[in-house]
Structure 1
């Protein structure tokens, strides 16, 4: 079966969700998904919850805190936020749920709001090509701004 053309594919928004509960709470993705569907159905009705199509893509929970990424159809982010606000307990354990942010891709959602996959970066001045230039430092790699573009380098290139 062939894929749909890009302009016919459904568009999604990804919500970064912070979860808090008691430290002894044992939550998993399946129970969170079930609670979210139940809250959406109660708030939006059968047709509204089916149209929003809320799905938990990633879930991580331990020691009372966690995070999740929830996918919602484009144009239904407000309904998704409202349904998430209605989740107050998961399998009898009281929880606090907060939407950290909304993004158009899973990767951007992780990096911007969940601080996963992203790297700590700092800026400093380096001598590169016989001139002092600014560089963005990410671990042992440096991206040096040279003539309006970036050049990749390592610390060994400067010693």
Structure 2
């Protein structure tokens, strides 16, 4: 079987996506891909989601933070960005999704928007609501363990 000529092949764009959740959450690629498809289908309908053809080609998630590269058709980048921002939870776990940027190749997408590995989270004891508690610190964000879950905080909330 012959390959299609270059002018007939589908044109792709790659979206760099940042994913953030609570530190004790574990999300895998399959769950993220399923949520992306459902979000696209709910927002764009069956035909619109089929036209965008969103596929997760790279995924990494650990310690409550991660990234993904989502491949979409070139003419439907805006639709795909809208569908990704409509994504609020994965397997009933709340997540924060941010599209960092768009690129024409996977390599450029990785170099420009994803970079190296994320800094590892640090464990600390903090005073929150007048009680000493365990916390996970990632940059300027602090996730404080309460009795049964985490509470998001910043350095100003802890003083």
Same fold (TM over 0.5): yes
TM-score of the superposed pair, with normalisation by structure 2:
0.72
3-state SS, counterpart of residue 113 of structure 1 = helix
In the other structure, the counterpart of 1:124 is: none
Deviation at 1:59, TM superposition (A): 0.3
Whole-Å separation in 1 of the counterparts to 2:77 and 2:7:
20
Whole-Å separation in 2 of the counterparts to 1:29 and 1:18:
13
Instruction: Give unmatched runs, 5+ long, in structure 1.
Output: 118-159
Q: Which protein is bigger by CA-based radius of gyration?
A: 1
Whole-Å separation in 2 of the counterparts to 1:44 and 1:89:
18
Aligned length: 117
In the other structure, the counterpart of 2:89 is: 89
In the other structure, the counterpart of 2:139 is: none
Whole-Å separation in 1 of the counterparts to 2:24 and 2:92:
12
Q: What per-residue deviation string (whole Å, max 9, x for no partner) do you get for residues 52-102 of structure 1? A: 000000000000000000000011000000000011000111000000000
In the other structure, the counterpart of 1:66 is: 66
TM-score of the superposed pair, with normalisation by structure 1:
0.72
Instruction: Give unmatched runs, 5+ long, in structure 2.
Output: 118-159
3-state SS, counterpart of residue 15 of structure 1 = strand
